[in-house]
Amino acid sequence: MPTSPAPVRPLDVIGATELTTTAAGLLAEHGSATAPGLLAHLPSACAGLGEGVRHALRPVDTADGLFVLRGLDIDTAALGPTPGHWSAVGDAGALWDVVLLLVSTLTGTPIAWEGQQNGRFVHNILPSPGHESEQTGASSSTLLTPHTEDAFHPGRAHLLLLCCLRNHDKVATTAASIRRADLAEDDIEQLRRPVTPILPDDAYEEAQRFAGRPAPVPTLFDSPEGPTLRFDPAYTPLDGADDNWRRAYGRLADELARVSVAVNLEPGDVLVVDNDVVVHGRVPFKARYDGTDRWLKRASVRIPGRRTRPAAETGEHGYGQTALPAFAQR
């Protein structure tokens, strides 16, 4: 698998200073990265940021479907040890929560989920004891299967942002773009059919108990910018699909594996992924639970007015989960 071919957008010292200084000011004013008042002030705070930052965070513009924003300077020693569970993070790395919220606001509207990490707008992704083999961000020893983020839900993010705080072991994030894949037209036609549902993943225990009937959804669909996908094989019940569809789905998985790249994030890197174009995952690694393990911050962003999803998605129940915008959509 190729390593780190992702397009890099450098952020100069002026832009990095603007982001961190603005974030520090918001944090000092509101006292917490989770304060509702801070969320409400994100758009006005972003209005004061310069053109250099805005240009670096222009929309994804290559078939790779992603880019790495590089130039933020994180003092990993000052962070303290990597916590053993997201619920134990508290205010650790709070400045970088706010930086990531500012970056998210420059690209769209940050969203949170009622049923995940207590409704926080920035999630902490780190290995946790007892979760090593799950298909969630808390796992470590197993391959995190390439997937669309929150694929079970019609309100899923348009963009996924991962900010690296610590990655001593160079644990790679994997990514594969549907716009780099080469599929036969027959397979594309098969996968445009809504044959199977995508079920909620293990991070959404309440959604997994939802009593409503799961609705079949298409895997591939078209948008004005090109092909898009909705893909999560670990939570897709393939047994209920017909043979032709299953074979096409398998060939899609194989093709995504062929074009997959490994991105080794460094502290301060922010990986921006188009969640309609790219599936992402993570290679296995051995967690030590000694305070030095990989630690990422994650944010989800919706882009108001973006037309990349089938209209039929508006009728889905979303397994009872609600996506919460950080502020009134602009």
Element (H, E) at 147: strand 144-147
pLDDT at 328 (0 to 100)? 83
- Per-residue pLDDT tens for 134-164? 999 999 999 999 999 999 999 999 999 999 9
> 179-203, pLDDT tens digit by residue?
999 999 999 999 999 999 999 999 9
Dist. CA 105–CA 60, nearest whole Å:
15
Residues 298-323, mean pLDDT to the nearest whole number: 94
Per the structure block, which two tokens stand in for 163?
A: 């900010």
Residue 172 in tokens: 């790679």
Q: What is the pTM of this model?
A: 0.96
Report residue 239 CA to chain centroid gap. Answer: 28
Mean pLDDT of the region 98-124: 96
Which of 48-64 are b and which e, b meaning 16 or more Cβ less than 10 Å from the residue's Cβ? Answer: ebeebbeebbeebeeeb
Mean pLDDT, rounded, for 219-234: 96
DSSP state of 320: G
Closest among 48, 161, 16 to 101, alpha carbons compared: 161
- pLDDT one-digit tens code per residue, 30-53: 999 999 999 999 999 999 999 999
Indicate the pairing of strand 109-113 with strand 323-325.
antiparallel
Is 70 exceeded by the pLDDT of residue 3? no
What's the chain's average pLDDT? 95
Output the pLDDT for position 321: 95
Strand (E) or helix (H) holding 299: strand 295-302
Q: At what angle do helices 13-30 and 36-47 cross, to 10 degrees?
A: 150
pLDDT, residue 6, reads 87
Residue 39, amino acid: L
Q: 140: phi > 0 → left, psi -120 to 50 → alpha, else beta; which? A: alpha
